[in-house]
Amino acid sequence: MAVALIWTPLLMGLLAGLGGTKAQQNTLHPLVGRVFVHTLDHEAFLSLPEHDAVPPTVRITYHAHLQGHPDLPRWLRYTQRSPHHPGFLYGSATSEDRGRQVIEVTAYNRDSFDTTQQRLVLEIGDPEGPLLPYQAEFLVRSHDVEEVLPSTPASRFLSALGGLWEPGELQLLNITSALDRGGRVPLPIEGQREGVYIKVGSASPFSTCLKMVASPDSHARCAQGQPPLLSCYDTLAPHFRIDWCNVTLVDKSVPEPADEVPTLGDGILEHDPFFCPPTEAPDRDFLVDALVTLLVPLLVALLLTLLLAYVMCCRREGRLKRDLATSDIQMVHHCTIHGNTEELRQMAASREVPRPLSTLPMFNVRTGERLPPRVDSAQVPLILDQH
């Protein structure tokens, strides 16, 4: 009773707190074909006084999903290195995702077990400005995906890549973890990273240096374990270690030829000199063929049945011929066995015949001794020690 009185106010207070909590709402504007990154900071979910920093020991994890669905949309991903680090929502929307999407984010405080909700309204629209037909994707071995999602490392990467590209504005198109592309989890060794794919687009053509890296000769050298051809200075080193054997260039400035639409014909084949089907087919009677197909197997089966019946029933030699062909010694032996068998059967049927000596207890084969008649042989054990 006391336990119930203690827990009742706590539950009422918890329910009242949940009922009075309203989820925060933020409106964001992702663009189709451009990378979208939203940082889930601890400060945005903790109710702290103004100008107070978040304690470094606070542990917060997040769970995000599309409103009305258990998971995120297919173009959006969530990652968080540890409860002490911020979380990230990132991805690149496609033209099919254009419109309004609502993402619900729930933050869990692992120390106080408090929960806070936030609603992100994503208004996905088309980007403004020129198209970016020249796109390149690089595999950065020296970073994890969480390390390049903030704006500072991303801007540093674009600035360093500008030295290898033709002059023009570079924009991030997509960022993908190498684990999502089939990469392996690295060993827990200092300096080992998961790797991240960074896709960059520009309106300026590729430089000669990038074209040489993605040439077939460079791919052949990479297949033999040699470094690819790089005719310019690597401006990305040492901050970004690029795997130059995994550089992909896509040129969308030249439109792809449209697939030819098949022309539907009238369904009649054209004249072929090598195929001349008959124009007329004469009438044919299949009665004879049917009779031959059915009667021939039946006649063969009947003949085999008659032959087997003749061999089994009409070729028996009889008992007289069998007895004449058998030797006298064998016949006497057989008759003796038969007679002894009959005698044993008669002895078993009659209770007055004494039992054979070999079946009596304590019968000595060598001397022929047996127990006295006054002793009940049925009560005498086979071994005298067993009393």
What's the pLDDT tens digit per position in 305-330? 999 998 888 776 667 777 777 788 88
Residue entry with tokens 């006054």: 374
The CATH number given to whatever domain includes residue 242 is 3.30.70
Cα separations in angstroms, 47 against 5, 13, 106, 139: 30, 18, 14, 40
Are 206 and 120 found together in one domain?
A: no
Residue entry with tokens 């198109």: 173
Which structure tokens are listed for 126?
């088309």
Are 158 and 105 found together in one domain?
A: no
Residue 298 lies in a domain: no
The CATH number given to whatever domain includes residue 80 is 2.60.40.10
Are 247 and 146 found together in one domain?
A: yes
Domains held by the chain: number: 2
pLDDT attached to residue 14: 41
Phi, psi for residue 102 in degrees, rounded to 5: -115, 125
Are 117 and 176 found together in one domain?
A: no
Residue 367 lies in a domain: no
Are 101 and 211 found together in one domain?
A: no
Are 235 and 138 found together in one domain?
A: yes
Are 156 and 116 found together in one domain?
A: no
Give the integer Cα–Cα distance in Å for 64 and 117.
Answer: 10
Which structure tokens are listed for 355?
């039992």
Burial of 258 (C-beta count, 10 Å sphere; 0-12/13-18/19+): exposed
pTM assigned to the model = 0.60
What's the pLDDT tens digit per position in 327-368? 888 878 888 898 888 888 887 777 565 666 556 555 555 565
Are 159 and 101 found together in one domain?
A: no
Task: Using the 3D structure, point to which of 256, 278, 296 is the last residue of a domain.
Answer: 256
Give the integer Cα–Cα distance in Å for 215 and 238.
Answer: 24
Residue 153 lies in a domain: yes
pLDDT attached to residue 7: 45
8 A C-beta contact, residue 201 and residue 132: yes
Residue 5 lies in a domain: no
Are 134 and 98 found together in one domain?
A: no
Residue 357 lies in a domain: no
Residue 53 lies in a domain: yes
Residue 1 pLDDT > 60: no
Residue 276 lies in a domain: no
8 A C-beta contact, residue 64 and residue 104: yes
Task: Using the 3D structure, point to which of 256, 283, 306 is the last residue of a domain.
Answer: 256
Give the integer Cα–Cα distance in Å for 328 and 330.
Answer: 5
Q: Which domain holds residue 202?
A: 129-256
Q: Residue 299: pLDDT band by 50, 70, 90 thresholds?
A: very high
What's the pLDDT tens digit per position in 117-146? 999 999 999 998 888 899 999 999 988 999
Which structure tokens are listed for 385?
């020690």
Give the integer Cα–Cα distance in Å for 35 and 92.
Answer: 5
Look up residue 168 and give its amino acid: G
Are 110 and 56 found together in one domain?
A: yes
Task: Using the 3D structure, point to which of 228, 256, 284 is the last residue of a domain.
Answer: 256
pLDDT attached to residue 362: 56
pLDDT attached to residue 353: 56
Are 63 and 50 found together in one domain?
A: yes
Are 79 and 101 found together in one domain?
A: yes
Q: Residue 20: pLDDT band by 50, 70, 90 thresholds?
A: very low
Residue 104 lies in a domain: yes
Residue 9 pLDDT > 50: no
